[in-house]
Amino acid sequence: MKQELIGGDHKRTAGEMHEESNIQTPKKRAKSMKLPNVESIKERVYKKFFPPDKVKMKWGNNKYKYYPTELIQYCCELIDKEVFGKELFQRGEEKISWEVINVMLYRFTVGNIEKRQEWAAQHRGHGMFMMIGGTQIEFGRCGWELRCDLLPKLVQAMKMTSSKEWLGEISGKFLWDFHGRLMDYSLENDTWRTEDGKSGSFKEILNEFVPRSKTDIP
């Protein structure tokens, strides 16, 4: 019969100490540097931006009001993970970088255009009808998130792009259309601000990196 220790901690046996010494700290999983799958990102973004009605029926009033804010946060995290986190610009993968960003700019700008087109087709030839609502992203409560989160990332991406001419071709329309949507709400949305105190006009940045020709300006 083993003698129990009274009034003290349990003394570890040699076997226990050997077992503890062999316990290895789990290795941290290396981040993936695989190039983004743009088609997959298109599907993910669409599902996030426009969840089915059966999901939205469970939302409360505040969820509806602040869902655009949630979308901006989602897109910022996606850009950080798929573009900056994978160092696409440093690796010379500028095209796919902007293809990823364009996916989000497009949805912020046109909203759920597929649903509106389907609705219009169903009512074509039936006289006047009310256009379907709830298919556009509303920026009314998103000023802070736009100025301090999303716009600085877009500015950073533009500054990391090597060719302004090429940027204008692949993403100029997306960027200017997005800026137009912002201006529908407030002139303050034209301002971008970073954590280190830098700020500026988003329109000035666009004019510098993706200037529009006279034929592009409505």
Residue 28 lies in a domain: no
Residue among 82, 109, 197, 101 at smallest CA distance from 158:
101
CB atoms within 10 A of CB 150: 23
Asked, for residue 132, whether it belongs to a domain, the answer is no
Q: 70 with 45: CB under 8 angstroms?
A: no
Q: Which residue has the higher pLDDT, 204 or 120?
A: 204
| C-alpha–C-alpha distance, residues 98 and 30, integer Å | 24
For the chain, the domain total comes to 1
Domain membership flag for residue 12: no
Give the residue, 55 or 214, on which the prediction is more confident.
55
What is the helix (H) or strand (E) element at residue 193, kind and residue range? strand 191-193
Domain contains 59 = yes
Residue 7 maps to a domain? no
At 87-141, the pLDDT tens digits run 999 999 999 999 999 999 999 999 999 988 888 888 776 655 556 677 899 998 9
For residue 117, what are the domain limits? 35-124+141-209
The one-letter code for the residue type at 89 is F
Q: How far apart are CA 49 and CA 107, in angstroms?
A: 8
Residue 4 inside a domain? The answer is no
Residue 29 reports pLDDT greater than 80: no
Residue 175 lies in a domain: yes
* Residue range 6-22, pLDDT digits in tens: 455 555 565 555 555 55
Q: What is the pLDDT of residue 21?
A: 52
CB 156 within 8 A of CB 83: no
199 pLDDT more than 90: yes
pLDDT interval class at 200 (50, 70, 90) = very high
Rounded average pLDDT over 188-210: 91
- Give per-residue pLDDT as tens, 148-166: 999 999 999 999 999 999 9
26 domain residue, yes or no: no
- The model's pTM is 0.82
